[in-house]
Structures are given as C-alpha cells and as structure tokens.
Structure 1
C-alpha cells in the first residue's frame, strides 16, 4: 500500500487517503469515495503517460546563386529598424510597417534564400476595394477614414514565414463527467459520474505557419490566414518586382516554440471533437511525438495600410492571395454618444410598451 498517500483526487485534485471506516480511499475536500482497484488503475494510467518529443530538422532556406541578388536592394527604416528588400526599380519612400521615411542601404546580401513564395494574386485595386468594404456600414467610424487619399497608402509586402511539416503521434487524457438529476417529494438529487477518457492516434501537419518578422504582429498575420500553400511556387527574384519583401528577423530556431504550440493545440482540438456524450470534458494531459519534423522558408503576400487617428496608429492587413481583410477601427466619440442615446431611447420605449401590455393583461 506504499505511496497511497500521494494519490490526487481525480475530481478536485486534492490529496486523498485511506479511510479505515469505509475501507475505501476518500477525498477530504469533496468527499468522493474510491474503490482501491479503480484508483490503482487510474494511477497506472498516469504512470504510463509519455512526455512530449518535438524535434525539428532545422535546415530551411538555401544559398543564393551567383548573380541572383544583383537586382535587389535593401532599405532600412530609421524609426522602427525594419529592413526590407526590393528590386532596383523600387520607389520606396516610406516604411510599410510604421509609415516613416526609409533610406536605401545598397546591395542585398547575407540571408537565406526563400524556398517558396506565394505570388500576389490580388492587385492594389482589389486591396482598395477590400478596405472600402471593411469600412462600409461602420456608423461609428470617423469620416476621415473614408477619405480616398488614405487608400493610396496601401503597400504590397512579402512577409517572411517559417512553414513547419510533421507527423504527430498523440495521446490525450480527458476528465469528463455525466450529470443526472431527479427529485422526490422531499429532495432534489444530483449524481455526478466522473470518467477518464483516452484518445490516441496520428495526425499529419503540413505548412504550419509562423510569422518570421517582429514588425508584423502575430495576431494580425494569423487573422488573415489561411493561405493556400497549394499555389506556392519555387522562389524567384522576379516575383519581387513592384513589391517589397520584409527580411526575417525571427530565426527558424526561434520560431519552433510557436510551431509546437500551434501543432499541439490543433492536435488537442482535433481529438476533443471525438469526445462526445458527456456533460463536461476537460483535457488533463496531452503527449505528442513528432516524426520527420522539418521547416521551409517562404514569403506570403500581404497588403498593408498604416494610418493614424488622434495620435493612435492603426494597421490594416489584407491577404494578397484570398482577399481576407482585418484591422481595428477607431470610434467617433460624438457618433458613439448619439447612438448610445438612440439605443437608450429605444430601450425605454420597449420597456414602456412591455409594461403597458402587462398592465393591460392585468399581470402588473
């Protein structure tokens, strides 16, 4: 019986001990009782759980061939420090990230060549239309945001991404409950049954994206996903003509933790969808084993717009392949006040109408 004092209650997590009166294990916190055999089986399951094994082959990107970078130039923003790449004909006068002036530094060199690129599928006109659609119907939007002059500040930028592929063997343990209630003439009863639920299997992941730029907010980039990687092609410098390309400043190795988080979360969600028939379900443990994990370096097409309102910066982004548009909008306080008064008036009228009806029916 050694070690029984170390058992944790599967229901509340409290320490449980043997109760000699009932000859069972009992939790002093939630009063749940356990048969010895059931508790031994539970402990055996916990002892059999594996730790995560998430290893990646870090060899993304390639070497630039002789003459490939001859037509490329680098530009650096003195404000945010962003470094971007463009062709020799790029007339870049402002940073796509903070909209401050940038200066040309000269010939591009010294970073990995991308493995893949998704070419821009939507042009600047489509980006303008996307912005106007995003602004349409926003009654609390300041009028200046509908000014056509701001639309011309949209820039096409290739954003660096690390794309992770792996096969995953996973085991997930869930704590689940079923609740039954009934009543008699004296009492209401509730019976809660607790279950340990296991799921295991294999899942394949391809092109799990992690933003390779600190200038691009991760939540903004994830909001315009997904990109269709089936349309990705081998990188060629010709695709950069007329656009800017952000130079990655987050390495492949630095992106691994984020990739692990996304793969593990997606695995847990996929398995959780198979746990049905319970009133509550909570994942208690997930262990994943990666096989054949590797990464690629890619450039994704994004249209960017930076503008300010009352001293605050607002960034909008559109997926240059699918047209998905995201971005926070400022609120016109005067318009918000007017709408608050309108809604308050409507609520008052509705409340008065309901009270009148109840009085008419003799219920109030």
Structure 2
C-alpha cells in the first residue's frame, strides 16, 4: 500500500482515500487550489498532474463500451470499504464520507461506470466564500424575512459535484420558410373633429410574404446537458454559464472530501436535449439567413457530423434550511459564485410596503388638490 493513497479491493466497491503525508489523517481537496489539504494539521500536498488533455469521445466509442454492473447492495447502493477503519458505507455516489470515521472515500469510476468522467471543474470557492455569496444574495432579496439574513451563519453548506454531458457537433441545415418585407399604403379614413366629419389619410404598414429557402452551417462546442435527475434541470440551467475552459482532466483526488453524484441520464438520452438546444440556435440562423423584416421558418432538416461527447463534473454548494415549517434549498456555483434558490416572503414587510405605497399616493393626491 502506497504512502500517498490507499486502495481497497472487493468485497465492496473499490475506493481510495488520501492520507496526509505529515500526520497520517485524511486530506481533502482544497477549493481554489491544485492541492489536497489536511483539515487537522493544515499540510498541503499537490494533486499529481496527469500527462493528458481533456478530450472528446465519439459515439462509436460509446457503442463499443460494455455495460458495467454496479457493485451494490440489494437496494441498489454501493458498499464502500473504508481504508481507514475497515467499515462498510452504503452510498450511490462516486465519492462520500465513511459514516463511522468520516474518512473521505472516492470510488474507482472505471470499475462501476459505463462512461467514466473525462473532466472535472474543481471547486473554486470554499465554504467561507460560498457564505459570502449567499450573504450578498439574501441581502438583495426584497420582502425577505429578517431571519433569512442569518441563514449563512447558522446553516451548513454541502459540496457536491454534479455530472453533466457536453456535446460538440458540426451541423448543416436546409430550411424552407417565408420572408416578410414591410411596405406602406395610404389609407383614407373619416373622423370627427369639433363636431364636424373630417376625412384624413394615414400610412398603414403591410407585409409582403415571399418563399425562402437555403442552407446554413453551424459548429457547436460544449452544449451542456445535466446528467442527473436529482436536481431539476431548469434549476441547474440557472447556474450557467460554467467556465468549462477551466476543466481539468479527471482525477479522483479532486473529489476527495466532496459528494459526487453518479449520472442517471444516459448520454444517448441527453443528446436528445442537446439537439433541441442546437435546434433553437439553428432556427435563429435560418431567420437571419432569410433576412427581411419578418421570417417564418416552416421546416428545417439538419445533418450532424463530428458528433462527440464527454462527461464532466461541475461543483455546487448546497444549502437547505428550514423556515415556517418548510424546507428551502439554495445552490451556489462553486466557480462563479452565482446563487439561485427559493426563499420565503415576509407577509409583514409586504403589508408594510403596501401601506406605505397607499400613504404616498394619498399624500400626492392631497398635494395636487391643494394647488
């Protein structure tokens, strides 16, 4: 067993932890760095660089991959064997903590996953930075209860990597539609002025439609689709944009100390969503190619080439807090500090604002009547 990492074999899912080279405790990835840090003695040790670049994968490679069964319990959970205390921990994640000694455990994805992560965008914000981002978010919420501003101090953040698929493609699209060009005609109408009927003219806009067709090309790079259903896709979309150019070639060490969610959306299924997102852009290209003042796109036939994909892990801080008997969740993009989430409203503050508005209107009316 090496001095910089420990591995376990079956029974259970193969996993590893990272012992501190100074004191022997378990180190965890330090956000904002390229190092693992010991939470006890503070010693840091660099994440070993790998001699490869992040690369895209063809769907031909995917078709050749065999299905890999999970090493799991009857409930569908992995059974980790902790290299620290030897205990078994059940989890459906790629990285977790031992439930007995809190050792940070990282699975070997190649042993259990059909598609292994190609890249990871490491955590850039630590817990304190995430709290600061949350504090700014809560302070800007109008009509929020005063207690909401205390959440960042009282609650605990949980860091998780969430799986996402990215897709690249070259597209050529043939379209049919119509081009609308504006023109103006003079219209005569009758109106009443000072009790008399008056005839006037005005310019009225019309649209002249003509057939249109053509071909447009577009290259797509890193079209992002969530690979998990554990968090609503529309919520994850609000955390964008992600600095995918900062992605590192995947190494298990980046996961140490954080939860890593397995993908449960297959790449073939996510491709359907990716093509829908590409289609929106392509239709915009078609309208631009048609030109004119208005456009109608009636059909688009798209051919794809150079279609590739990869699995990338993106870092998110999660916070769930209780207020008025309900759970509220907040997420922080752990690279950009973007904060999204649900929050309660203070009925008292809303009522006070409404009363203030009524008083202000009454005061304005009073002043106007005094003139």
TM-score, normalized by length of structure 2? 0.65
Going from structure 1 to structure 2, the CA distance change for 1:153 and 1:244 (only over 3 Å counts) comes to same
Q: How many residues align?
A: 281
- SS of equivalent residue, structure 1 residue 227: coil
Deviation at 1:270, TM superposition (A): 4.2
Going from structure 1 to structure 2, the CA distance change for 1:132 and 1:90 (only over 3 Å counts) comes to farther
- SS of equivalent residue, structure 2 residue 112: coil
Q: 2:366, 2:299 → 1: CA distance?
A: 53
After the TM superposition, which residues 269-284 of structure 1 pair with which residues of structure 2 at under 5 Å, given as runs?
269-273=284-288, 277-278=292-293, 280-284=294-298
Q: 2:98, 2:129 → 1: CA distance?
A: 23
Contact 2:168/2:308, CA 8 A, preserved across alignment: yes
2:194 match: none
Q: 1:252, 1:330 → 2: CA distance?
A: 36
Deviation at 1:351, TM superposition (A): 4.9
1:22 match: none
- Unaligned residue ranges in structure 2 (runs of 5+): 1-57, 69-79, 189-198
Q: 2:153, 2:100 → 1: CA distance?
A: 18
Going from structure 1 to structure 2, the CA distance change for 1:58 and 1:253 (only over 3 Å counts) comes to farther
1:41 match: none
The match for 1:182 among 183, 186, 201 is 186
| Deviates further, 267-276 or 213-222 | 267-276
- SS of equivalent residue, structure 2 residue 143: coil
Going from structure 1 to structure 2, the CA distance change for 1:189 and 1:223 (only over 3 Å counts) comes to same
- SS of equivalent residue, structure 2 residue 336: coil
Contact 2:157/2:319, CA 8 A, preserved across alignment: yes
- 2:94 pairs with 1:85: yes
Q: 1:348, 1:284 → 2: CA distance?
A: 54
2:326 match: 312
The match for 1:322 among 336, 340, 345 is 336
After the TM superposition, which residues 1-364 of structure 1 pair with which residues of structure 2 at under 5 Å, given as runs?
57=60, 59=62, 75-76=90-91, 83-86=92-95, 110-111=112-113, 112-148=115-151, 152-177=155-180, 178-184=182-188, 185=199, 188=202, 190=204, 191-198=206-213, 200-273=215-288, 277-278=292-293, 280-351=294-365, 353=367, 356=369
Q: 1:134, 1:347 → 2: CA distance?
A: 31
Contact 1:163/1:208, CA 8 A, preserved across alignment: yes
Residue by residue over 1:70-124, the C-alpha shift from the partner in whole angstroms, topping out at 9 and shown as x without a partner, is: 8798654xxxxxx32325568899xxxxxxxxxx9x9985223211111111211
TM-score, normalized by length of structure 1? 0.66
Going from structure 1 to structure 2, the CA distance change for 1:311 and 1:258 (only over 3 Å counts) comes to farther
RMSD: 3.5
- SS of equivalent residue, structure 1 residue 303: strand
Q: 1:204, 1:267 → 2: CA distance?
A: 10
Contact 1:58/1:295, CA 8 A, preserved across alignment: no
Going from structure 1 to structure 2, the CA distance change for 1:75 and 1:172 (only over 3 Å counts) comes to farther
- Unaligned residue ranges in structure 1 (runs of 5+): 1-54, 77-82, 94-103
